[in-house]
Amino acid sequence: MPRKKVSAKVPLQTDLESVLVTSAAIKRRIKTLGAQISKTYGREEITIVPIINGSIFFTADLLRQVRNPIRLDCVRIFSYRNSTKSHGKPKLLHSLTLDIKDRHVLIIDDILDTGKTLSAVVKMLKKQKPATLRTCVLLDKKGRREVDFEADFVGFEIPDKFVVGYGLDYAERYRGLPCIGVLKPEKQKLA
Ligand code: 5GP
Ligand code: MG
């Protein structure tokens, strides 16, 4: 993927070493992903389950490109991570309030990395016997997988770099950036 120049006009964007995905590219890709999802589900209602907080920007933009009727309910996961690496087993901090039995469920996450988070969420939700259970991620770092897991819908494959922006944070910063990029090494020193 070609790396774009970092714009100094957006606050915090100058903390990036490079931009991996521009906001224009995100917008274009979400349009095609939305169409792909609508086609897959036909006229069925979809119960959308975003994993918060990281996926809220992606979910909000994606859902505006999906034509199906939807229901929406979030889950929150705690992953025992320091700022850039995950350790151990993900824990469910906030579970569903909607009943998903016999429903078509689509789980949405910002990024698929080791695969531990999504595979754990899939395992938990399967117990509630949905009619179908699929997953959608904006970003996929294929090279980092520790468990055997692939998402049904993927926005972009990216290299093994810690990224921020468009919902993704570093110590809660940078979520509001309109693009996705790699932080300068000297900016990865926050507590
Ligand atoms: P996994 O369980 O697949 O290793 O990790 C998934 C979660 O780790 C994502 O939902 C995200 O919160 C976090 N994560 C993984 N890689 C990155 C990254 O490059 N940047 C940020 N900000 N979070 C990441
Ligand atoms: Mg996350």
- For residue range 64-82, list pLDDT tens digits in order: 999 999 999 999 998 766 6
The residue whose CA is least distant from atom 16 of ligand 1 is 113
Please confirm whether the linkage preceding 53 is cis (ω < 30° from 0).
Answer: yes
Q: How is the chain split into domains, by residue range?
A: 24-158
Residue of 15, 113, 140, 160 marked catalytic: 113
Mark whether 169 is an active-site residue.
no
- 118 CA to centre of ligand 2 in angstroms: 9
Which of the listed residues 17, 110, 174, 188 should we mutate to test ligand 1's pocket, taking the one with most ligand atoms within 8 A of CB?
110
Which contacts qualify for 119-126: CB closer than 8 Å, 24 or more apart? 119/147, 119/149, 120/77, 120/89, 120/90, 120/92, 121/49, 121/51, 121/75, 121/77, 121/90, 121/92, 122/149, 124/92, 124/95, 125/49, 125/96, 125/100
Task: Give the chain's length.
Answer: 191
- Classified by CATH at the fold level, domain 24-158 comes out as Rossmann fold (3.40.50)
Of the listed ligands, the closest to the CA of 113 is 1
Phi, psi values for residue 41, rounded to 5°: -90, -5
* Segment 101-145, tens digit of pLDDT: 999 999 999 999 999 999 999 999 999 999 999 999 999 999 999
